[in-house]
Structure 1
Amino acid sequence: MTRETFRTLKALRHTVRSIALGHRLPADDRARLVLSLSEVAGAALGGGRPVTLLSRRETDEDGAHRLTLALRLPNQSPGHAVATDRLPLRARTQPDGTVVWNLPLPSTGSPGHAARPAAAQRGEADTALLEEELRASLARADALADEHRRLKHELAETNSGVLALYVQLEERDEQLRTAHGRTLRALEDALRPRPLHVDGLELAVHYAPASDEAPTGGDLYDWFTLPDGTVHITVVDALGHGITSTRTALTVTHAVRTLALEGHPLESIVARTDGILAPFDQSVMATLLLARLDPADGKLTLANGSHPPALVARGDGEASYLEVRGRGIGFPLPGSERLLTAHLGVDDVLFLYTDGLTESRRDPLEGERRLKDAVCRHRVRETEQIPGLVAEDLLRDVLHQDDTLAIAVRRTGA
């Protein structure tokens, strides 16, 4: 191990360069080493305080050689501390403040001894070594620039390929979404009843899912003609969205249809439906509205299970809600509290719906007022247009997205 003390930065640089040259370090590593020690020692030497340099050559168990340089600094304030991880050649700092560099040495040859020239020749020698180090640094910079250009070119080609692939994936994804939507809409159409044609009545329906990505939901309806000629209509709104709620709504409508065709009284069907389904699935929850309409005399009978009330728009332009209290499927004490009987005159329109229409702005009372105005406004239109036009009016500026279902029934008297 050698130990030297320095009072000038020039002498330190010259000695470090000589040590690096004697151990045959490459010019690039030599330049980084000289710059690193100069940066660490600069503050102390500039303030007139000497530094001590220790150097030694070591060999590890595998026979590899390395050069260790340790720079001991005088006591200095924390403001003069050097961030060794940002030096041209990284180093480590020992607890006593000594900064240490460990450099692997070339495996061939033995270390030489750089002769120290006379003072007159020292400047020329240092200049030659500086030029060599500069050329090495420039060559390394040129090599890095070439590598950067090559990588940039490869990155541009890769980005171009990735962009093309992304476009293809987007097109494929759009095709899959379209096919998925068609499949679900076909399923939705299959679940809904066929159009009902009854003398003396015109019926129309409009349905819109909460999301185009899931065109099925918990809003479902059923209509059919009973043996006595009256028309039965069921409107169901099952809890939730998507396929699960569709299954719940379908189960409820099938149970109601079965009970109605078996001849059970209308006032008992809501409670009986809950009694049938509860033993099989305790999670089923749904509201429902049941309507019976006789096309011949216009007698209308309603039963309700927690569902929004039916609305009747009269031929004279007036409209009113037909309120019936009750609790739905899965609710405590399910069933319709009573039956409501009304009369539907010629050209009157019965409007049945789910709460996705009246609660689209989070205020049911405002929604009911807007619904009554819209039905009165569109009552004079053709029956098949009324549900869609009313839904379009109420679903502007939607604050709460939900499935929506609307049914219009006009008594023509023909």
Structure 2
Amino acid sequence: MKPQITTLHSLAGLRSALRRLAHRAGLSVELRYRLALSATRVAGAELAAGRPVLLETVPPQPRGPGADGRAGRGTAGDRPDGLEGPQGPGGPEEGRLIVRLHLPHAPRRPSLEGLPLPAERLPGTTAVWRVPVPLPSAGGDADRDGPPGLVDLLEEELSAAVDRADELAEDHQRLKHELAETNSGVLALYVQLEERDEQLRQAHGRILRQLEDALRPPPVRVPGLEMAVHYEPAEKHAPTGGDLYDWFVLPDGTVHITVVDALGHGLTSTRSALNVTHAVRTLALEGHPLDSLVARTDEVLATFDHELMATVQLVRLDPAGGNLVLANGSHPPALLVRANGESSLLEVRGRGIGFPLPGSERLLHDRLDPGDLLVLYTDGLTESRRDPREGEQRLALAARRHRHRPIEDIPAAIAAEMHTVILHPDDTVALTVRRVSG
């Protein structure tokens, strides 16, 4: 089979020739328009510049042995135009249509990147497509009713493109439906995970609250005294913190109260505060004097907790006579509200656990008469605003307003009033002691 060579001067002529050639070879509509579009891209610049191109086609070799008994090769022959003859590498191939596009006047080799139908590059400025043809070859029947017109071929390609677009649209709808179902499943899983996470947070909170309850002893029942306490964490989902208290009765009947505020938040600060309360309780029950307890506690804890820093306030109260003694280590002053509404801050200078030169500089002595109210607290109660002195003044007003309420309601009522404005949330302890007639 001899190659056919056509000189073309326009894109329209190139497209028309390729469409008819592909139709005669029985190529699918998709291969046909891919071939025409690819050749147009390769030759477009040359034809637009007015330089002709050569379209060479080699029909496919019939499958099976050739006339000389060899499969896939024709007889040798010379090419008058100098192009490769059928015997060489450019000869007919079994079951393939060969299309060569020569650009004899092109100043540079054409780009073959990104073509709809990939092409091979031959030496020089030639591109070649080797397109498989269907079985059996449709060449004998393709033009049975006469060769189709160019419009017919274009309509066929357009129809195929519309069908393909419909298929893609159906695939798109199917994928959207599958994606919607997937998203629905993911959303349901997300909701389940959120519910599970909330359950875990609630369970975690319950465990921590149980831990808090175990760490915070109930009020001491002593004739002549009423005691109550309110604790409020800085973060509701992490109810443990470094604000702790302890109260117990010494062998001589005196009530001892410890209020601690350890640096930080969470379980680490809780452990530090717990170490302080346990050390103070042990030393107090061993009989160490009150004025040495802050310094002695620092000495004991420094050997195994080098990072511990905590403020501490210690109170001794005689239920029978009302004698009151305070020691302090960097802690906010206690508030004393008399039965007649007068109030005063019980301030004692000192330095806390982990501070330089820890210890209370002196002991403060006072007296709690029947109806008087003592308020002990951590700085989370009064330092919700920038000025601690303002907080102390607000605390005195709140304590005077609520001093006649049942003792179990007073600490929470004071905290609620103090926390109407919070700039810097912090753990808070509010502890109240009221002396009553025996």
Tell me the TM-score normalised to structure 1 length.
0.80
Taking a change above 3 Å as real, the CA distance of residues 411 and 5 of structure 1, as seen in their structure-2 partners, is: farther
Structure 1 position 322 matched with structure 2 position 346: yes
Q: In 2 relative to 1, CA 44–205 (structure 1 residues): closer, same or farther, beyond 3 Å? A: farther
Q: Which amino acid aligns with 2:414?
A: V
Work out whether 1:283 is the aligned partner of 2:285. no
Q: Does 1:221 align with 2:239?
A: no
User: For 1:39 and 1:273, how far apart are their aligned partners in 2?
Assistant: 90
Counterpart contact for 1:220–1:249, Cα < 8 Å: yes
Say if 1:69 and 1:245 are closer, same or farther in 2 by CA, change over 3 A: farther
Partner of 2:10: 8
Q: Tell me, in whole angstroms, the C-alpha distance in 1 between the residues paired with 2:349 and 2:244.
A: 21
Q: Write the letter of the residue equivalent to 1:27.
A: V
Q: In the alignment, is the contact (CA less than 8 A) between 1:371 and 1:394 conserved in 2? A: yes
Q: Is 1:298 matched up with 2:317?
A: no
Residues 170 and 356 from structure 1, CA distance in 2 versus in 1: closer, same or farther, beyond 3 angstroms?
Answer: same
Show the counterpart of 1:79. Answer: none
Aligned-pair CA distance for 1:169: 2.9
Within-5 A mapping of 1:159-198: 159-198=183-222
* Partners of 2:271 and 2:56 in 1: CA distance: 82
The answer to which of 350-359 and 393-402 deviates more is 393-402
Q: What does 1:246-257 correspond to in 2, within 5 Å?
A: 246-257=270-281
What are the ranges of 5 or more consecutive residues in structure 1 without an aligned counterpart? Answer: 76-81
Is the partner of 2:176 in helix, strand or coil?
Answer: helix
Match of 2:389 in 1: 365
| Preserved contact between residue 329 and residue 359 of structure 2 (Cα < 8 Å) | yes
Instruction: Tell me the percent identity.
Output: 59
Equivalence for 1:133: 157
1:144 equivalent to 2:146? Answer: no
Query: Which letter maps to 1:366?
Result: E
Cα deviations across residues 282-329 of structure 1 (Å, max 9, x unaligned)?
Answer: 111111111111122222111111111111112222222111111111
Distance 1:281 1:162 in 2: 48
Offset of residue 153 of structure 1? 2.4
CA distance in 1, matches of 2:257, 2:249: 9
Per-residue CA deviation, residues 187-206 of structure 1 (Å, 9 max, x unaligned), is 11011113211111110100
Q: How does 1:10-409 map to 2 (within 5 A)?
A: 10-17=12-19, 26-32=28-34, 34-35=36-37, 50=51, 89=116, 105-106=131-132, 125-409=149-433
Provide the C-alpha distance between the structure 1 equivalents of 2:238 and 2:126, rounded to a whole number of angstroms.
66
* Between 347-356 and 28-37, the greater mean CA deviation after superposition: 28-37
- Whose helix fraction is larger, Structure 1's or Structure 2's? 1
2:149 partner SS: helix
**Contact 2:35–2:117, Cα closer than 8 Å, also in 1:** no
Deviation at 1:8, TM superposition (A): 3.4
Shift in Å, 1:5: 7.7
Amino acid at match of 1:260: A
- The amino acid across from 2:16 in the alignment is H
Please report how far the alpha carbon of residue 178 of structure 1 lies from its aligned counterpart in structure 2 after TM superposition. 2.1
SS in 2 for 1:254: helix
Are the structure 2 counterparts of residues 352 and 138 from structure 1 closer, same or farther at C-alpha, using a change threshold of 3 Å?
same
TM-score between both structures, scaled by the size of structure 2: 0.76
Whether the 8 Å CA contact 1:386–1:408 is kept in 2: the answer is yes
Give the deviation of 1:218 after TM superposition.
0.8
Task: Classify the secondary structure of the residue corresponding to 2:391.
Answer: helix
Question: Aligned partners of 2:6, 2:425: CA distance in 1, in Å?
Answer: 81
1:136–1:406 CA distance, 2 compared to 1 (3 A): same
Q: Cα deviation per residue 1:246-288 (whole Å; 9 max; x = unaligned)?
A: 1111111000000111111111111111100111121111111
Instruction: Tell me if the contact between 1:22 and 1:111 (Cα under 8 Å) persists in the aligned partners.
Output: no
CA distance in 1, matches of 2:266, 2:97: 70
Distance 2:6 2:432 in 1: 102
Amino acid at match of 2:29: A
C-alpha separation between the residues in 2 aligned to 1:361 and 1:66?
Answer: 88
Asked if the contact 1:295/1:413 (under 8 Å) is kept, the reply is: no
- What is the RMSD of the two structures over their aligned residues, measured on CA atoms? 4.1
Tell me how far apart the structure 1 counterparts of residues 311 and 126 of structure 2 sit (CA, whole Å).
Answer: 79
TM-aligned CA deviation for residue 373 of structure 1: 2.0
Corresponding position of 2:67 = none
With 278-287 and 359-368 compared, the bigger mean Cα shift is at 359-368
